[in-house]
Structure 1
Amino acid sequence: MGKFLPLLIRFVDGRLMQVSSITEAELALAGQWPNKEADVYREAARLLVSAREGTCTPDIAFIAFEKAARQQRLLKPRKPSSGLRILDSLSESN
């Protein structure tokens, strides 16, 4: 399991991938993206390499990856877990 909350990515070819670590984010960049020449994609790729090399924090690199996926409309919403649904229903009843 990765360090980050999992992101669900749907590539251009329809393939799904769950991403929750820097390594998985690097693998996801190799998938089919709408525009691999976009600045946001290239910045995410650069920061992920920097995080692996230790010159960038993993948090910043993962945020850049999430931003790139969101801007290219690859990020898919996830349903809240059953535990979160229970907590939400409890907080709404008060």
Structure 2
Amino acid sequence: MSRFLPIDLTFVDGTTMVVSSIADAEKALAKQWRNKEANNYVEAVRLLAGAKSGICKPEVAFEAFKRAALKQRLVQPRKTSAALGILDDLVS
């Protein structure tokens, strides 16, 4: 089980990837983004490196990565699972 909720990404070249860990996020940063010089991308790179070396909380680094991916419109919506649909029906 991964530490973070998975994020579905579609990169500029059309490739896709599911990211749910710091290691996945680092791999995703090497793919084709819209702007690798954008402040949010650079910040995500810095914080992920910090998380890997132990000077930054992984949660903070992953959130920065997610924010950068959202800003560059790489995040794809996730379909809810059947189990969550049933739970929603029970609650309402």
Q: For 1:67-92, what per-residue CA distance to the aligned partner results, in whole angstroms no more than 9, with x for missing partners?
A: 00000000011011111111011112
Q: For 1:21-67, what per-residue CA distance to the aligned partner results, in whole angstroms no more than 9, with x for missing partners?
A: 00000000000000000000000000000000000000000000000
Q: CA RMSD in A?
A: 0.6
Match of 1:38 in 2: 38
Match of 2:50 in 1: 50
Q: Percent identity?
A: 57
**Could you tell me the TM-score, scaled by structure 1's length?**
0.95
**Which consecutive segments of 4 or more residues in structure 1 shift more than 3 A?**
none
In structure 2, distance between residues paired with 1:52 and 1:34 = 24
Match of 2:86 in 1: 86
Gaps of 5+ in 1: none
Number of aligned pairs? 92
**Could you tell me the TM-score, scaled by structure 2's length?**
0.97
Q: Secondary structure at the match of 2:66?
A: helix
Gaps of 5+ in 2: none
In structure 2, distance between residues paired with 1:52 and 1:18 = 19
